[in-house]
A = this chain, B = another copy of it.
Amino acid sequence: MADYIPKPEHKFTFGLWTVGSRGVDPFGSAVRPYKTPAELVSLLGEVGAYGVNFHDNDLIPIDATPAEAEAIKMNFRKALADTGLVVPMATTNLFSDPIFKDGAFTSNDSKVRAYALQKTMKAIDLGVEFGAKVYVFWGGREGTETDSSKSAVESIKRSREAMNFLCEYALDKKYDLKFALEAKPNEPRGDIYNPTTGHMLAFIATLDHPEMVGVNPEVAHEHMAGINFMHGVAQAWEAGKLFHIDLNDQYPGRYDQDLRFGSRDIKAAFYLVKFLEDVGYTGSRHFDAHAYRTEDFEGVKTFARGCMRTYLILKEKVDRFNADKEIQALLAEINANDGTMDHYFGKYSPDKARALTAQPFDRVAISSKGLQYERLDQLTIDLLLGTR
């Protein structure tokens, strides 16, 4: 068996807010002490991560003085140098402060919208200062509890205007930066706009600079809506829009759990890793999760190591799936094509249409073939359980 040791080539990253989570939840207060960004970088270095990501206010508190900010940055930079960690991604906190209680870019208050733009420009500068190449947008407060309060169309327009403005800002500054939009269906708002990766992809297609904007799908967020995460990731990938990914775990139909990657839905995690490895995704494998509230910082490290270890175990299973003779023979059989239909596919022509219209089909014969998907799935389960 492999040793499942994380290496830089695996591009495993964590947010400061993940290992720094103090375990506050709607019904309980902090269970773990505060750690500085530099301390968190050390922790991530210790467990073998490749990179660290941050929200502006993870690094620099919203009310920090310039001097305080400089001191924090110096310590953070030193910790990066000491550990060798990089900062591949950064993002803006547009949800914690009360000013964002009705949204940031979609707030009904023009002062809030202006402040959100300002805060994001400054946060982009900060991210770029530390080398971030991907900038994530998660609009946690962009939504409603009552649809009497806001125009959904106006909110789309406001979101688009903000994104267009910020794209231009990054271009103007000549930043080597791509934007990645992250969807979530609800929580903390009753309903959040652009609730899935699909909605985000559609939204991106309407921007002024769609080429520099992609998505950052998150396992937990799509599972909350009970939809197939890998399918959404595949759509993003196929459209050239998979700029970043948030790995964690989640049981559907409940609050945002941000569980250790692969700890809840093993099968879905496998298909996701298989997809990423098979297509050759080269971006960060970012773990946007946190340790159970029962844990101290030893538990946090175990949690972080577990995210990476399970990814690597599943990655090895992908290799095994692809090398398994029985599985591959079955897949070949399932996908066999006798070529007799090939001339009907591809670009349309009137002749093709005419010929196809006249083609006889033996529906009963075609239908009666068993497709062997139970066998294929059982082979997959055996592979996952380590019994093949």
Contact = CB atoms under 8 A, between A and B. Distances in A.
A231 to B, nearest CB: 5
A361 B227 contact: no
Contacts of A47: none
A28 B108 CA distance: 19
Contacts of A237: 153
Interface centre among A147, A153, A253, A297 (most CB of B within 10 A): A147
Contacts of A295: 370-374
A234 interface: yes
A337 B109 CA distance: 7
Nearest to A266: B266
A321 to B, nearest CB: 8
A189 B17 CA distance: 20
B353 A169 contact: yes
A266 B310 CA distance: 15
Nearest to A348: B168
Interface string A108-129: 1111111101100110000000
A335 B200 CA distance: 26
A373 B25 contact: no
Contacts of A291: 374
Interface string A7-49: 0000000000000000111111111000000000000000000
Interface stretch (A68-76, A78-86, A91-99): A91-99
Contacts of A25: 26, 188
A197 B198 CA distance: 8
Interface in A231-251: 231-232, 234-235, 237-239, 251
Contact of A230 (B152, B157, B366, B385): B152
A385 B384 contact: yes
Contacts of A205: 201-202, 205
Contacts of A357: 118, 121-122
Given A26-B256, A28-B100, A370 B264 contact: no
A99 B366 contact: yes
Interface in A290-321: 291-300, 302-303, 305-306, 309-310, 313-314, 317
A359 B227 contact: no
A95 B27 CA distance: 6
B306 A149 contact: no
Number of copies: 4
Contacts of A271: 147-148
B335 A108 contact: yes
A196 B227 contact: yes
A65 interface: no
A156 interface: yes
A27 B146 contact: no
Nearest to A237: B153
A323 interface: no
Contact of A111 (B24, B115, B341): B341
A152 B109 CA distance: 42
A230 B271 CA distance: 26
A187 interface: yes
A341 B100 CA distance: 17
A188 B26 contact: yes
A374 B188 CA distance: 17
6 contacts: A111-B361, A149-B371, A190-B257, A199-B232, A295-B373, A298-B372
Pairs of residues from A and B, 10 with the lowest C-beta to C-beta distance, nearest first = A386-B386, A198-B199, A296-B370, A168-B348, A201-B202, A152-B234, A198-B198, A253-B253, A98-B367, A255-B255
Given A194-B198, A302-B374, 6 more contacts: A113-B345, A117-B344, A198-B198, A226-B251, A226-B252, A386-B386
